[in-house]
A and B are shown apart, each in its own frame.
Chain A
């Protein structure tokens, strides 16, 4: 099911890219214009998708997906990352990082509160120390100045 969906995505993405590239223009006075390369690539992606949809030999045999606990951990990682991406501009790296780590450790690993807080604070402090101070990278700061 998911494999067919992915193959269909290739067909649609490839076809859409080819149409958009055609509109940009394929050739100019000196040869290829901006649209040629993406047009060819789009057509190839589309053909690849069609080929994968039509042939069975390329499908994965016995595709294994995670169990319920596995999905919970994967969901936790993705939720943590999404929270971090969304909150960094408002909370700054340090606060967003600590909260994300807490989400990961509590929901994904179900660690105790004490060990989660300790590990979250230590690892974010170490990351800040390495990148922010030693390597002098400008990490976003929150309204409280860190």
Chain B
């Protein structure tokens, strides 16, 4: 019942002309960015974050969430029409989606991808609606020790998110903690690593770091090699799936939805893993697996549903616990922090308007996205013809304005530039940058909560084991670390098909 009343509150918040317009605008911009190859959801959120600053928190977060799932929707268009994924989770869609387009079935592939995304998106938001209040009840018992345990769990979960070298990922986590310590210590008033600079006394600006690391570095990587793509489809026909298409797709859509939602909940799971596992599952259950890779509609329906369902699933840990499971949700967490909102155990109780507003906006956003993705597909196809060399100066302009507008301090522009260069080099050296961001966001909260816990504890650090929730979370963290060590600290694997698609 709490879920229903919460949802009614959410719709009350969201159903205003301005919020609906922002949700529509976010969905539109998100889809547009998802369609453009080279600017993924992560860079999109980083670059468009400042646009939401002057908006009230509810409106700002609703728009950001819409940009996020819009980008997830839009990513499939380039996969199908250009064989270039708009974002990483659409990599697997290239395999059969592009083959369908080559066989003159681009419309059917785009239609199934859009309907699959809609079905999965809606189902995952329904699950989010009923699952989140359960966590909310537990969250009421949270104090500083539980927060410490939760942050530790968050950092441990980051280990599972690392792609590539684990040692490089661990170094990034430590660097994130270290750089988060720059500035004045709020507890003691001591200055740390400021070297007498007023610009550093408030610490490094999160937005400048995010835009530099994920936005500017992506632009540098893209301008490095600007290539022309061949657009496959001139005119898209038959977007509404036929009876046979539905028959073949409904099973993969439902399986993808369930799988995606569950994997979205798990740290390190997320849309990318969900789409690959869904593809593998569909191939496994298919009567004729040899059709996969040659234009099987199930190979589009399953992964597209799974990656969109994972978005809904991934919202649960980030909104209810403040633990991001993927780089994009880590950035969304950072965005909420910048807006002055601390997602975590008490978020649902302290800001029910915002929490349920976001959930309600996801229902509406899914409908908008279906509308945007089907009738407007011609527009997205035209957009694919805009050369990147025209787009990137505009995107850079947005980065500069966005970074500056946060503190009205030119120093932040230099920080952005430095992190842009660092991000470019580190990407080249195959460092995963998301763990850095998560550590940067979580470290100050962890430090503050730990110090509060120790002040209130006569037994020092033992307080962590004397409180049931904290102790449970610590035990889970230890188990996760032990499992990671048992598998030899190996990085996350997404499946061999990724290499095939890249080739």
Which secondary structure characterizes the binding site on chain A? helix
Task: Write out, one digit per residue, whether chain B residues 221-243 have a CB within 8 A of any chain A CB (1) or not (0).
Answer: 00111100000000000000000
In whole Å, how far is B454's beta carbon from the nearest beta carbon of chain A? 4
Q: Does A95 contact B (CB under 8 A)?
A: no
Known contacts A21-B192, A108-B389, A131-B401, A88 near B51 by CB under 8 Å: no
Closest to A105 in B: B393
Q: Does B475 contact A (CB under 8 A)?
A: no
Cβ contact within 8 Å between A37 and B177: yes
Q: Does B398 contact A (CB under 8 A)?
A: yes
Among the listed stretches B105-113, B162-170, B283-291, B295-303, which one makes contact with chain A, having 4 or more residues with CB under 8 Å of it? B162-170
Cβ contact within 8 Å between A17 and B193: yes
Q: Does B363 contact A (CB under 8 A)?
A: no
Cβ contact within 8 Å between A127 and B398: yes
Which secondary structure characterizes the binding site on chain B? helix
Question: With a CB–CB cut-off of 8 A, which chain B residues contact A105?
Answer: 393
Question: With a CB–CB cut-off of 8 A, which chain B residues contact A108?
Answer: 223, 389
Q: Does B413 contact A (CB under 8 A)?
A: yes
In whole Å, how far is A123's beta carbon from the nearest beta carbon of chain B? 5
Closest to A55 in B: B167
Known contacts A3-B429, A38-B178, A104-B396, A85 near B224 by CB under 8 Å: no
CA distance A52 to B148 in the complex (A): 30
Closest to B406 in A: A137
Q: Does B430 contact A (CB under 8 A)?
A: yes
Cβ contact within 8 Å between B396 and A31: no
CA distance A131 to B425 in the complex (A): 31
Known contacts A2-B429, A38-B178, A30 near B451 by CB under 8 Å: yes
Q: Does A141 contact B (CB under 8 A)?
A: no
Q: Does B484 contact A (CB under 8 A)?
A: no
Which residues of chain B in 185-243 are interfacial with respect to chain A, using CB atoms and an 8 Å cutoff? 185, 187-188, 190, 192-193, 216, 219-220, 223-226
CA distance A82 to B410 in the complex (A): 11
Q: Which of these, B223, B390, B401, contacts A73 with CB under 8 Å?
A: B223
Which residues of chain A in 51-99 are interfacial with respect to chain B, using CB atoms and an 8 Å cutoff? 51-52, 55, 57-58, 60, 63-66, 70, 73-74, 77-78, 80-82, 84-85, 88-89, 93, 97
Closest to A25 in B: B190
Question: With a CB–CB cut-off of 8 A, which chain B residues contact A100?
Answer: 396-397, 400
Cβ contact within 8 Å between A31 and B455: yes
Q: Which of these, A78, A85, A109, A123, contacts B410 with CB under 8 Å?
A: A85
Q: Report how many residues on chain A are interfacial, defined by Cβ distance under 8 Å.
A: 72
A-B contact count (CB 8 A): 185
Q: Which of A2, A14, A81 lies at the interface centre, i.e. has the most chain B CB atoms within 10 A of its CB?
A: A81
In whole Å, how far is B262's beta carbon from the nearest beta carbon of chain A? 32
Task: Write out, one digit per residue, whether chain B residues 82-118 have a CB within 8 A of any chain A CB (1) or not (0).
Answer: 0000000000000000000000000000000000000
Cβ contact within 8 Å between B51 and A135: yes
CA distance A104 to B396 in the complex (A): 10
Cβ contact within 8 Å between B460 and A17: no
Known contacts A58-B167, A119-B393, A85 near B226 by CB under 8 Å: no
Cβ contact within 8 Å between A77 and B429: no
Q: Which of these, A6, A66, A77, contacts B225 with CB under 8 Å?
A: A66
Cβ contact within 8 Å between B455 and A58: no
Task: Write out, one digit per residue, whether chain B residues 448-470 have a CB within 8 A of any chain A CB (1) or not (0).
Answer: 00110011000010000000000
Closest to A123 in B: B394
Cβ contact within 8 Å between A65 and B404: no
CA distance A2 to B424 in the complex (A): 13
CA distance A108 to B165 in the complex (A): 34
In whole Å, how far is B392's beta carbon from the nearest beta carbon of chain A? 8
CA distance A120 to B168 in the complex (A): 40
Known contacts A74-B220, A74-B224, A97-B400, A44 near B428 by CB under 8 Å: no
Q: Which of these, A34, A88, A126, A127, contacts B413 with CB under 8 Å?
A: A88
Cβ contact within 8 Å between A119 and B178: no
Cβ contact within 8 Å between A81 and B178: no
Q: Which of these, A33, A38, A131, A140, contacts B193 with CB under 8 Å?
A: A38
Q: Does B385 contact A (CB under 8 A)?
A: no
Which residues of chain A in 23-54 are interfacial with respect to chain B, using CB atoms and an 8 Å cutoff? 24-25, 28, 30-35, 37-38, 40-42, 44-45, 48-49, 51-52
Known contacts A30-B455, A31-B451, A74-B220, A60 near B226 by CB under 8 Å: no
Cβ contact within 8 Å between B401 and A137: yes
Cβ contact within 8 Å between A131 and B393: no
Which residues of chain B in 398-433 are interfacial with respect to chain A, using CB atoms and an 8 Å cutoff? 398, 400-401, 404-405, 408, 410, 413-414, 416-417, 420-421, 424-426, 428-430
Q: Does B349 contact A (CB under 8 A)?
A: no
Question: With a CB–CB cut-off of 8 A, which chain B residues contact A77?
Answer: 216, 219-220, 223, 392, 396
Q: Which chain A residues have a beta carbon within 8 Å of chain B's beta carbons?
A: 2-3, 6, 10, 13-14, 17, 20-21, 24-25, 28, 30-35, 37-38, 40-42, 44-45, 48-49, 51-52, 55, 57-58, 60, 63-66, 70, 73-74, 77-78, 80-82, 84-85, 88-89, 93, 97, 100-101, 104-105, 108-109, 111, 119-120, 123-124, 126-127, 130-131, 135-140
Complex A-B, nearest 5 residue pairs according to Cβ-Cβ distance, in ascending order: A48-B171, A31-B454, A44-B174, A85-B413, A41-B178
Q: Which chain B residues have a beta carbon within 8 Å of chain A's beta carbons?
A: 50-51, 53-55, 165, 167-168, 170-171, 173-175, 177-178, 181, 185, 187-188, 190, 192-193, 216, 219-220, 223-226, 389-390, 392-394, 396-398, 400-401, 404-405, 408, 410, 413-414, 416-417, 420-421, 424-426, 428-430, 443, 447, 450-451, 454-455, 460
Known: A24-B192, A81-B417, A131-B401. 14 other contacts (CB 8 A): A31-B451, A38-B192, A41-B175, A41-B181, A45-B178, A58-B165, A58-B168, A74-B424, A100-B397, A104-B393, A124-B397, A127-B397, A131-B50, A140-B408
> Could you give 17 example pairs across A and B, Cβ below 8 Å?
A6-B426, A10-B171, A14-B178, A20-B192, A20-B193, A24-B192, A30-B454, A30-B455, A31-B451, A34-B187, A51-B167, A60-B430, A66-B225, A88-B410, A123-B394, A124-B397, A140-B404
